[in-house]
Chains A and B, each alone.
Chain A
């Protein structure tokens, strides 16, 4: 049904075109020049699709014959779409004929054909995203006001709007200003004038996409991927418009229409919608994201306020998670569950709280996106502290359900309210995580009973689930690891391989962080490393990991193991939290951390060890690592694991004790393992160390020699 209508429309336009060309030849002769003014691309659409430059009416006659070959009539979608392309090309021919003999077929306010210069000028903001999309509005809106409102909504988003048909008169009727300077371009009132915006997209592909004329595949790929255009066609839609629409769809431009008669939805391509939803539907269909440039709040927002402290006497209201139930949470949702930029206050605004009082607050930022993953939730959430602190007159500390937020009297007096926290979170999450967040809404709860209920029923389970996920993430349970080369400025050949059980040696980059960094900035410091080709399971060596490390270290490193400090150990940069080093007399390893300035039983201090192991070189027997790695089951697994740890500074030992003991119990059935591990209060030389270990019956003493 739909396909037949397209064929009909195509046939009608084709008939008209052939007739028009024949008439023109009869009148002017076949040698008469034909073409558009101010373009180097002759008839740009035809040239781009076929690589052939049409210069005369005779050429045009030949071209229309070529177009005919596109008009196959198998009853299949692709035939219909190709007929759409044929319709578009016919439209170009008809439009071109209007310009024969230097005629000026279009007059104010219509533009008709657009010059190459305009495309170069528009192309730059299109490429940079400053013009986030191109709307083609076609036909007459149900009322002039509805039409103009739609145009306005696009304008406000920076989207370029082109108009074809009755909508142009509707703008005039309401005295609405159009023109290239306000990015609303009326093309022409005939439906064929829609080809002038298609011509823009196609020349953009030639100019900005380096597409070779005649390479139709590359052309269609470029317009589909790089030209964020879409069509809004008002009812009624006749066969001709439908055929032209098929052409748009072939170029990758979805058609959104309020027509309900004789039309069927083609998901992602032909989409029915109410006129008031055209904007939203179009943006979603074309995956256009509108950049947020300013945050609408009554106080300043800048990193200069990050360190501001609001004292008790200056505060209007305080939300204190240590006294009452408060929390902050990010949750990923399905697209339809979210209304973008909705900020909802559930409960009283600050106005209703007595000055200087302590209240409950819970804010939930709900996000959705095609590339969103629940693993990113904590990554966003960790940024909230910095976001909220950057608000002038607002102080934020803590995270999860241990937050404390203070709002100053000054900020309150100039109109700052709880909803503005929502505005800030919305704007920052949307702009900083643009790559994965398509829609975002914020719910702010201020009633104590809500906060209590949600904290226990929603937030705490969510945090627990995340912690469990982190705990259960093992190197074996994931398909890829990540590289991190943030430190190469200091250690040129250093490459961190971040795995779930081995975080970056700076302690700041976990596998989830690296994953998020990679998704958000695919060309950034964290790259995916596959782990398909295992060479040696014992020391954790993979062919793919070696290849990646070789490449990322610019050839300085050949092989690394993930779990050994003796064989091909991972390199160390300069930012490691800890260093472990082999202690030969006890047959174990000593770990020391950056904060500990004293001597170790190795006879070397942290700085001395750092200078020997740092700089991206492999130093067997010594390795930098993060604090959290100490309790990992993968910690020097190849040499026997954490059982080898014989000494740590007391502070570090206390810090990791709980988790380390847990791992020791699980792996070896040892209770209170850290009790056997010496520290600086026990030993600072090998002899005393060995004596202590012997007394304690430390397992390392009886293990296989490390070297």
Chain B
């Protein structure tokens, strides 16, 4: 069982020296208990305390880092099987697959498409994060190394799919500084692959014919001192891959089986066998169920829009609602004379309201003020959405930009109408509908 903050505190020096960066030993202990800070951040812990705490606070699943700089990603480190229990800490990362068996034109075309998907969604940059470079034996080592070099130049973190230690070594020589993953160890080659990966200082991907073989190979690699691993769930069938992904994660998190306490890799490009729609279905499935890296054949806008949205949702903190930036959001080509509507900055509310406003076709300005990321009624109850907050936002940030003086407020906070009018001279405050779905009709009626 994880230790409580109090238990950890008892082992600290209790000096409040602040050397760890926290103002008190208590605050530090609470953060360690949360997994937010490592126990080693305290320079004054006794050896004895450190040893017992490290063991007890060690996560069931290792946190593996790949890539460098902006392309450095943290994989694994999960402590729960369901997001409602506690936040999933490491997002699924998506890699687009390349293969040295492809012809040059196809490779060029694919590489050229990679930068196309690059946009922002609720404060998060969405783009293709990784490239999976597969070794086709018949194409030979040179072509592979050349491809790896080319892929490396694309500036994405690489995963090398290669089971031949010699070829892998050559490929790593050109890309190891980018901290790629070398995916290719199995029961037959793990010793050699381990040596290659260790020498290059990169994460090693391991696979097995079945879960038992995988388990034994991981155990053998750990014996060789390598705990910098990723587990490839295999490509025998969708059913087997799913079974492996779930059971590996469950063994680690629920049953505390540390041998399987590593992130996973799922190659849906291979599993889908050229069916791009099946690939869409599978990438969603493995985002939900425990893929740390998911390899895809293609990741254009059609895939990216739903997929990154899904990932953003699944990997949110259940305690902290997603927020959008406060500001003026013009909709349907609104200008300074268009009617204003206001609501809270809770991302879900924003999406639903803006969607309905778009559907209405009526040009309008959606004014989002800071309401702590809470929904309308919750924000109102918590005092984060009040006549003061709305009036302050409008006088400070809206009045000099918008000429229209009509403001629609959510029907659920009709109670604010009088107060807002009192605080915003010159504005006409109109009570909107109770539910967003009624906005289309409301706006049309208001126009008509």
Contact = CB atoms under 8 A, between A and B. Distances in A.
Nearest to A684: B23
B318 A615 contact: yes
Interface in B1-26: 4-6, 9-10, 14, 16, 22-26
Interface stretch (A360-368, A431-439, A604-612): A604-612
Interface of A: 303-309, 389, 395, 490-493, 508, 556, 566, 574-575, 581-585, 594-595, 599, 601-604, 608, 611-612, 614-615, 619-622, 685-687, 707
A303 B419 contact: no
Contacts of A491: 318-319
26 contacts: A303-B411, A304-B414, A305-B414, A306-B414, A307-B414, A307-B418, A308-B417, A308-B418, A309-B418, A309-B422, A395-B418, A491-B319, A574-B319, A582-B26, A583-B26, A584-B9, A602-B26, A602-B27, A603-B16, A603-B24, A604-B23, A604-B30, A612-B5, A615-B318, A622-B30, A707-B9
B34 A603 contact: no
Given A307-B417, A308-B417, A614-B319, A582 B6 contact: yes
B86 interface: yes
B23 A615 contact: no
Contact of A603 (B6, B23, B85): B23
A612 B27 CA distance: 10
A686 B16 contact: yes
A303 B415 CA distance: 8
Contact of A685 (B4, B23, B418): B23
Chain B CB within 10 Å — which of A306, A492, A614, A687 has the most? A306
Contacts of B38: none
A621 B27 contact: no
A621 B24 contact: no
Interface centre among A583, A585, A603 (most CB of B within 10 A): A603
A619 B34 CA distance: 10
A608 B37 CA distance: 14
Contacts of B394: none
Interface string B388-426: 000000000000000000000001111111111110000
B146 interface: no
Given A604-B27, A608-B27, A707-B10, A615 B418 contact: no
Interface residues of B, number: 41
Contacts of A615: 86, 318-319
Nearest to B82: A492
Q: Give the top 10 A-B pairs by smallest Cβ distance, nearest first.
A: A309-B418, A603-B24, A603-B23, A603-B27, A307-B417, A307-B415, A304-B431, A306-B415, A621-B6, A492-B84
Contact of A619 (B5, B86, B421, B422): B5
B431 A621 contact: no
Given A603-B26, A603-B27, A686-B24, A309 B419 contact: yes
B58 interface: no
Contacts of B84: 492
B173 interface: no
B26 A584 contact: yes
Contacts of B6: 566, 582, 620-621, 707
Contacts of B422: 309
B236 interface: no
A603 B421 contact: no
A685 B16 contact: yes
A349 to B, nearest CB: 27
Given A303-B411, A304-B411, A612-B30, A622 B5 contact: yes
Given A582-B26, A611-B34, A622-B30, 14 more contacts: A305-B414, A308-B418, A395-B418, A492-B85, A492-B318, A508-B381, A602-B24, A603-B27, A603-B28, A611-B319, A615-B319, A620-B4, A621-B4, A686-B24
Contacts of A574: 319
Interface in B303-355: 318-320
B434 interface: yes
Nearest to A310: B418
| Residue in B411, B412, B431, B434 with the greatest tally of chain A CB atoms within 10 Å | B431
A306 B85 CA distance: 39
Nearest to B16: A686
B174 interface: no
Contact of A307 (B5, B22, B416): B416
A309 B24 CA distance: 50
Given A307-B431, A309-B418, A622-B5, A603 B22 contact: yes
A303 B27 contact: no
B384 to A, nearest CB: 10
Contact of B4 (A611, A619, A687): A619
Contacts of A581: 26
B382 interface: yes
Contacts of A707: 6, 9-10
B317 to A, nearest CB: 8
A603 to B, nearest CB: 3
Contact of B414 (A303, A556, A608): A303
B383 to A, nearest CB: 8
Given A490-B319, A574-B319, A614-B319, A599 B5 contact: no
A685 B24 contact: yes
A687 B16 contact: yes
Contacts of A621: 4-6
Nearest to B14: A584
B343 to A, nearest CB: 16
Contacts of B4: 619-621
A595 B419 CA distance: 21
Contacts of A492: 84-85, 318
A395 B419 CA distance: 13
Interface string B24-42: 1111101101100000000
A493 B318 CA distance: 12
A309 to B, nearest CB: 3
A270 to B, nearest CB: 49
B408 to A, nearest CB: 11
Q: Which of B30, B85, B318 has the most CB of A within 10 A?
A: B30
Contacts of B9: 584, 707
Contacts of A604: 23-24, 26-27, 30
Interface centre among B27, B28, B85 (most CB of A within 10 A): B27
Contacts of B320: 611
Interface in B50-102: 84-86
A410 B383 CA distance: 32
A650 to B, nearest CB: 19
B415 A389 contact: yes
Nearest to B27: A603
Contacts of A620: 4-6
Contacts of B421: 309
A601 B24 CA distance: 8
Contacts of B383: 595
A309 B319 CA distance: 37
A162 B320 CA distance: 59
A389 to B, nearest CB: 7
A686 B26 CA distance: 10
B320 to A, nearest CB: 8
B335 to A, nearest CB: 28
